Structure 1
Amino acid sequence: MACFFRRSVALQLSKVVGVSEDALIPLISAVPVSKKQTTSDLRVSVNSLLQRGAVPPDGDLQTQTQALANQIKRDAVVEEVVAGRGVIHFRLNRLILAQKLLEQLHSEPDGFGVKSDLLRHLQGGRTLVEFSSPNIAKKFHAGHLRSTIIGNFIANLKKALGKDVIRVNYLGDWGMQFGLLGAGFERFGSQEKLKTRPLEHLFEVRPYRDVCVFHLLSLSLVDLFSLGLQVYVQVNREVESDESVRSAAAEFYRRLVQREDQALELWRQFREITVDEYKRIYQRLGVDFDHYSGESFHDGQTQNVLEELKTKRLLKTTEKGTGVVDLSAMGDMSSYATLVRSDGTSLYITRDIAAALDRKQRFGFDEMIYVTDKSQSVHFQQLFHILSAMGHEWAERCHHVAFGLVQGMSTRRGEVVFLEDVLEEARSRMINNMRQSRTSKVLEEPELTAERVGISALIIQDFKGPLISDYKFDWDKVLQSQGDTGVFLQYTHARLCSLLRRHASESYSCRDVSPLTDSRSVSVLQHLLRYDEVLLQSANDLQPRHLVNFLMTLSHLVASAHRELPVKGSPAAAAQARLCLFSAVRSVLANGMRILGITPVDKM
């Protein structure tokens, strides 16, 4: 309903500047609530009016601001117009502010904010989001947590704003590492253990000159460091002196590429086992996917990609025999991407090109978003450049959302390797905190509540700053019940639910909101005016911190209101109006939390 107030201001402003209301609405913003208790509710920058050509440049900015403010008429909605420094402030009728906002939140809580005029241009169309994308035959590493929760947030946000969203998990399920894994399994593996404890068996270290070479070579550097740098150095020395290991791996991968039945069957086992394990963990995180894909699916399509690149004279052969695409602005090969090895095999980027073309044909997306860590930024720049050079204009609507690294994440058992260790740690620490808290309620499913609150804490910690930034992880800070944490956010929601349950037998309506003109209530209402702007900002830069900051401020404001505006013992009219306000805030908190990927809890 913030759009109602913007339109009311735009109506009065349009009469002065001669520009349509629709053109003015995006220029009008809500004033952030501050401790100084700013009296205005909405504002418009005169500079923004100048830039849009709504007013001609005419002398001193301040003089022009004052002149415009003097010409704008007051009405039943806009009670006061004040000229600030290059900004015109509008004070709304407090009774109408409360009435209009709470009416919509009471009648259509899920539509609040997302159906605003500000967001209308974002509605419709199809968005494909590729995220999580772990590697097959490895347990879900903690490093994939960021991609998973960031991608889930983006998909949730796009869906809330009216997009048709396709969630894709693009698995690392092809390449030489499967030659190493397959050869290693044929030497040391056990089908019985693969059935009873599959990923543990694929992950465990088997004897081979003190360590299992195929296992270690299939790990990331983070994993290797967790097993010890000394072992890593030793293994590399052993590999250098044992050509049979590399030969066996190359032979197994060759059998895979040639679709040899026995090799493919073993590979399928690795893939199915891993996907089943991942789905179980995704369920704990509240994440799902519409489509599980992978490099293997597109490996057979790379030849068509290479043929198209040759036809368009984009693929060139180097002296070393590799196939490359020139990315340089001057066409001098000062920058290029390698798409084919000298032996004719494709690379990761070749399969990514094939995947993008296949997705466009199959899903007809309007935009595609990749969520990976910032180390892959150059890869995606090259990918989008090549797609554009091939003549695909939709490449301009492909985006890479990059994120930084998490430092210092560990459990009581030591450094974290697996995501499941993180989830277990969050749950156990949260259960312990809840048992020690004097305000904790008796819960039917304490472990489920603890897990949801613990995951909320992980998500909020991750989303508080710019995604591109690295950050240091600290369990004590993450699970604090006070401050801007996921625990505090869940506690605020649960406390409002508790209040509404206690008064469930009392019927209340939002017809008489006259008791909500006090400063505490007005601050909450003013902040709610900003919700659609925050969603727009989040949609524009795909950063969750805007929504996190909004929800945290709302939680602090309603906590103060809850202390100072009691329901019990108040006159009936005041009690009803306050229940209406608290119910509205609970709805907005829940909606915002779900967009972030957080499941709200009703009791804590």
Structure 2
Amino acid sequence: MACHFRRVIAEQVSRVLGLPLEKVVRSIRAIPVSKKGGSADFQCFVASVLADGPCNAKPHHQERAQELAGKLVCDSVISEIATGRGTVTFQIRRDLLAETVLRQVIKDGPRYGFNSELLSGLPRGKTIVEYSSPNIAKKFHVGHLRSTIIGNFIANLKQALGNEVVRINYLGDWGLQFGLLGVGFRRFGCEEKLQANPLQHLFEVYVKINAAAEQEENVQLSAQEFLRKLEEGEPQALSLWQNFRDLSIQEYIKVYKRLGVHFDDYSGESFYREKSEDVLRLLEQRGMLQITNKGTGVIDLSEGDLAAHATVVRSDGTSLYITRDLAAAADRMEKYNFDEMIYVTDKSQEIHFQHLFRILTLMGCKRAEGCRHVPFGLVQGMKTRRGNVVFLEDVLDEARSRMLHNMAMSKTTKELEDPSDTAEKLGLAALIVQDFKGQLLSDYHFDWDQALQSRGDTGVFLQYTHARLHSLQRMWDTGELNDFDAACLQDPPAVSILQHLLRYDEVIYKSVEGLQPKYLVNFLLGLGHLAAVAHRTLHVKGSPPHVAQARLLLFNCVRVVLASGMKLLGITPVIKM
């Protein structure tokens, strides 16, 4: 495994340079298959091992690389040492490569990569991930898809690394929109339609009352009055709101089940409507709360990096989104005593979270430095055959429908017990991989035809590769594949796969460092393409038994790592398609 080889190299380098082993380990990287040219397996970046920061090709770094290489020796693991542009390269003995990597995959199974020394220095603790967070009484908007799948990936990754993870769905279940909805339901609502299709009917009511508010001035005033009654706990208003909330959560759970997503805590802004009063009192006691001429309460943030004021209370005394967020953060610090809290929302809320974290710091909250916002861009061009899409269920239905059509048209489609369920898993894989291939912060254009291709860099390709490897294993299953001849895996396609598997712990490290899934996606796609090449050239059928056994083990190890990585992304691997 990479950690074994990396440690052997790091021990030599740290001994020669007199540096801590932990620091040297982080400077050593397995060389990507596309860049290695068959000459080396690992590089030690001299600049980063000698100082913090990336390697470069300055003359003194090249000289230091040559000097370091001259003091290192080949041994039972390293067969060749050379220098590059500010790096020292190490070639691993080929007879050890297959033996070590495959033995480690057999031993660790789905945990392969996570027991690496490279990851041992990462902080462990309690992590809160807040994601999805739809607005109650509204259908699950397609805009919440990114927050849901990104947050799920981050939670999966943190949990796999050994963190205690709390998954929170912080529902938008309070605020002026509920004043509007309350007024709207009294005017346009129908109890029968509400029970039959809750979110669709509430959406229709919301559209109608917003249209009325543009024509009638008193609608907005009535909405503010309804919100005031809610905040004062008026029973009739609260009962109506509670009904909307309960029905909405029931509908959301159905969508989350389709996405393979779960939460530990369904909290919401409503829970903090009273606690926000405590926050306002604390801000006032500390002399931070200022009242403007308009009667609003603001906090001056101009002494920090933010040349701005943050409004935390309306002139009528009702709370705002940021006020409730402050109360929620303070409450979670006390309830969970977390080490880090990650918020996953679109990039339009970046300033909101800058203000939130700054105010928490000014309030003296000890865990404020552990709060982090992961922003993401917008999806463009997501349409169904009926036109522009608004709701997530329509997207999931469209993905399933298109995959069922593609499966029916394909000559290679197997007979399936539940084609619709398989199509659902394939469609979701397509959505996730299409979304995760680039930087999260970037907007991207969604293309159905491209996303659903069975070849190329798609989620369907990953599923197809996994299913094919599973089929191969089932066809030639000879029991436990623990004994193999490593000499049978010296062909270039096999070596390329082994070299690629060496990098898995580095990919995990980069993924958690930036909380970016693209590194994992690109690794898995690369693994899939290498497996496809090997499948065409390294035949099992017709090969001598010891060769077939070794190749079967190689393909099985690829399948194990592929499945492990897909599950981190939130994809359920299929075994037949």
SS in 1 for 2:298: strand
Which residue in 2 is equivalent to 1:121?
A: 121
User: Partners in 1 of 2:304 and 2:62 — Cα distance?
Assistant: 48
Amino acid at match of 2:91: R
Q: 1:271 aligns with which of 229, 241, 245?
A: 245
Partner of 2:131: 131
Equivalents in 2 of 1:508, 1:384: separation in Å?
52
- Asked if the contact 2:94–2:490 (Cα under 8 Å) also holds between the matched residues in 1, the reply is yes
3-state SS in 1 of match to 2:143: helix
What CA distance in whole angstroms lies between the structure 2 residues aligned with 1:217 and 1:149? 32
**CA distance, structure 2, for counterparts of residue 267 and residue 353 of structure 1:** 23
Q: Does residue 261 in structure 1 map to residue 235 in structure 2? A: yes
Contact 1:123 1:162 in 2 (8 A): no
Asked if the contact 2:361–2:368 (Cα under 8 Å) also holds between the matched residues in 1, the reply is: yes
Quote the Cα distance in structure 1 between the aligned partners of 2:451 and 2:304: 50
Residues in 2 aligned to 1:408 and 1:52: alpha-carbon distance in whole angstroms: 42
1:446 aligns with 2:438: no
Alpha-carbon deviation of 1:52? 5.6
Structure 1 length as normaliser, TM-score?
A: 0.92
| Native 8 Å contact 1:128 1:165 kept in 2 | yes
CA positional deviation for 1:14:
2.6
Aligned to 1:42: 42
Query: Matched residues in 1 for 2:207 and 2:116: separation?
Result: 53
Residues 485 and 550, structure 2, Cα contact 8 Å, conserved in 1: yes
Structure 1 residues 537, 477: closer, same or farther in 2, change over 3 A?
Answer: same
Aligned-partner Cα distance in 1 for 2:49–2:235: 68
Q: Counterpart of 1:184? A: 184
> Residue by residue, what CA displacement relative to the aligned partner does 1:297-336 show, whole Å, maximum 9, x if unpaired?
00111111011111111111122221111111279x9511
C-alpha distance after superposition, 1:359-378 (max 9, x if no partner): 11111110000000000000
Q: In structure 1, which of residues 284, 304, 307 is the aligned counterpart of residue 278 of structure 2?
A: 304
The amino acid across from 1:603 in the alignment is K
2:481 match = 508
Partner of 1:291: 265
CA apart distance, 1:527: 0.6
Aligned-partner Cα distance in 2 for 1:298–1:326? 23
Change (3 A) 1:156 1:36: closer
Q: How does 1:423-438 map to 2 (within 5 A)?
A: 423-438=396-411
Q: With the length of structure 2 as denominator, give the TM-score of the two structures.
A: 0.96
- Looking at structure 2, the residues matched to 16 and 373 of structure 1 have their Cα atoms a distance apart, in angstroms, of 48
CA distance in 2, matches of 1:158, 1:565: 36
Query: How many pairs does the alignment contain?
Result: 574
Q: 1:327 to 1:58 in 2, by over 3 A?
A: closer
* SS of aligned partner of 1:122: coil
> In 1, Cα distance between the equivalents of 2:524 and 2:72?
34
Q: How big is each residue's C-alpha offset from its partner over 1:92-148, in whole Å with a ceiling of 9 and x where there is no partner? A: 111211111111111221221111111112253000000000001111111110000
Task: Report how far residue 393 of structure 1 moved.
Answer: 3.3
SS of 1:325 mapped into structure 2: strand
C-alpha distance in structure 1 between counterparts of 2:215 and 2:85, whole Å: 74
The one-letter amino acid of 1:478's match is A
Query: Which residue identity is paired with 2:320?
Result: L
Q: Which residue of structure 1 aligns with residue 324 of structure 2?
A: 351
Aligned-residue offset at 1:482: 1.1
Paired residues of 2:132 and 2:151 also in contact (CA < 8 A) = yes
1:468–1:60 Cα change, 3 Å: closer
In the alignment, the residues of structure 2 paired with residue 565 and residue 15 of structure 1 have an alpha-carbon distance, to the nearest angstrom, of 41
Shift of residue 180, structure 1, vs aligned partner = 1.1
CA contact (8 A) 2:23 2:49 kept: no
Trace 1:178-217 onto structure 2 (pairs within 5 A).
Answer: 178-204=178-204, 214-216=206-208
User: Aligned letter for 2:308?
Assistant: S
CA contact (8 A) 1:81 1:91 kept: yes
Contact 1:106–1:584 (Cα < 8 Å) also in 2? yes
Measured in 2, the distance between the counterparts of 1:435 and 1:588 equals 29
The separation in 1 between residues aligned to 2:500 and 2:439, in whole angstroms, is 22
Superposed CA RMSD:
1.9
Counterpart of 2:494, as a letter, is S
Secondary structure class of the residue paired with 1:550: helix
Tell me if the contact between 1:155 and 1:165 (Cα under 8 Å) persists in the aligned partners. Answer: yes
Q: Structure 2 vs 1, CA of residues 364 and 427 (structure 1 numbering), >3 Å: closer, same or farther?
A: same
2:184/2:208 contact within 8 Å kept: no
Q: Match for 2:297 among 323, 326, 347?
A: 323
Partner in structure 2 of residue 571 of structure 1: 544
5+ residue gaps, structure 1, are: 206-213, 219-234
Deviations 1:386-408 (A, max 9, x none): 00111123211111110111111
Partner residue of 2:458 out of 485, 489, 495: 485
1:584 corresponds to 2:576: no
Deviates more, 1:480-489 or 1:117-126: 117-126
C-alpha distance in 2 between matches for 1:20 and 1:119:
16
Q: What pairs with 1:214-253 in structure 2 (closer than 5 Å)?
A: 214-216=206-208, 235=211, 239=213, 241-253=215-227
Match of 1:99 in 2: 99
Q: Is the 8 A contact 2:466 2:575 kept in 1?
A: yes
Q: Does 1:380 align with 2:353?
A: yes
| Partners of 1:109 and 1:10 in 2: CA distance | 25
Per the alignment, do residues 250 and 508 of structure 1 end up closer, same or farther by CA in structure 2, a change over 3 Å counting? Answer: closer
User: Over residues 42-96 of structure 1, what are the superposed CA-to-partner deviations in whole Å (9 max), with x where a residue is unaligned?
Assistant: 111121233169xxx9984333322221220111111111111211000011121
The question of whether the paired residues in 1 share the 8 Å contact of 2:269 and 2:324 is answered with yes
In the TM superposition, residue 15 of structure 1 has moved relative to its aligned partner by 3.0
The structural deviation recorded for 1:216 is 4.4
Amino acid at match of 1:142: V
1:499 match: 472
Query: What is the alpha-carbon distance in structure 2 between the residues aligned to residue 38 and residue 46 of structure 1?
Result: 22
SS state of the match for residue 345, structure 2? strand
Does structure 2 conserve the Cα–Cα contact (< 8 Å) formed by 1:103 and 1:510? Answer: no
What letter is aligned with 2:143? G
Task: Give the distance between the partners of 2:59 and 2:389, measured in 1 at CA.
Answer: 63
C-alpha separation between the residues in 1 aligned to 2:416 and 2:59? 66
Is the 2:228–2:318 contact (alpha carbons within 8 Å) kept by the matching residues of 1?
no
